[in-house]
Amino acid sequence: MSDSTTDWNSFEKIHDDNGYFPNDMIYSIRKHQKGDFVFRQGDSCDALCVVITGSVKTEMVSENGNLMPIETIHAPRPLAPAFIFSDKNIFPVNVIALNEMELLRIPKNEVLRLMSIRPDFLQQFMTHNANRTQFLTQRLQLLSIKTIKGKIAFLLLEKHNSEGLVFSLAKNQTELAEYLGVARPSLARSMSEMSDEGIISTEKKEYKILNINKLKKLLV
């Protein structure tokens, strides 16, 4: 889900005197190194936290201790902004730095003040959270599919709905395996079988759906 309607780049330039933010706004910026736990699942979420440089990955720990990869977040993007206003305002995932990165933190009271003086900020905040709800719904659908081929089919059909029968995926096979929550060799084997069965063809990061009906039948 794209965040193109949300101008989080404004946060990346918060140091500048560009008139967007009040000069007296309270905030802090914290640096993290690769591999740092920026937040752990269950940590308090009492401020708007925005990745302003670098990138992080998020993962959820299940009741039995298994790790479920959720997504990679690149700057500039907020982390779980809707949870600031939840009755149970805790981070739902682990947030781990993938490289050297900076995190902007704006206290909840300052977020409320921004919303009152900048209606466009409030609109962007609401739009972003609505988009995130759609993304997480799709993510849950994907994780509920049992077979690897089914997971691949779901992902490719989502791309087909927006881009047609031929498209590119930004993720390489290692990243794709992590996103789908499967082993890379198993992913490669499943894709090879789907290609042999005349369902899809692949060339590096470019994919072509050859038989959409067969692809849909894999959604089990």
- Least Cα distance to 16 among 52, 57, 59, 61 occurs for 52
Give the β-pairing of 37-39 and 94-97: antiparallel
pLDDT at 8: 64
Identical topology for domains 9-134 and 148-217: no
pLDDT digits (tens), the chain, 220 positions: 334 344 566 565 554 455 567 888 899 999 999 999 999 999 999 999 999 999 999 998 877 777 878 888 999 999 999 899 999 899 999 999 999 999 999 999 999 999 999 888 898 899 888 888 887 788 778 878 889 999 999 989 988 887 888 888 888 888 888 888 888 999 999 999 999 999 999 887 889 999 999 999 998 6
In whole angstroms, give the CA distance from residue 220 to residue 54. 37
The DSSP annotation for 17-28 comes to --SSS-TT---E
pLDDT at 135: 79
pLDDT at 19: 57
Structural tokens at position 146: 């049992």
The phi, psi pair for 156, rounded to 5°, reads -70, -35
Instruction: Write down the CATH number for the domain with range 148-217.
Output: 1.10.10.10
pLDDT at 2: 37
pLDDT at 217: 92
Instruction: Write down the CATH number for the domain with range 9-134.
Output: 2.60.120.10
pLDDT at 1: 34
pLDDT at 168: 87
Domain ranges (residues) in the chain: 9-134, 148-217
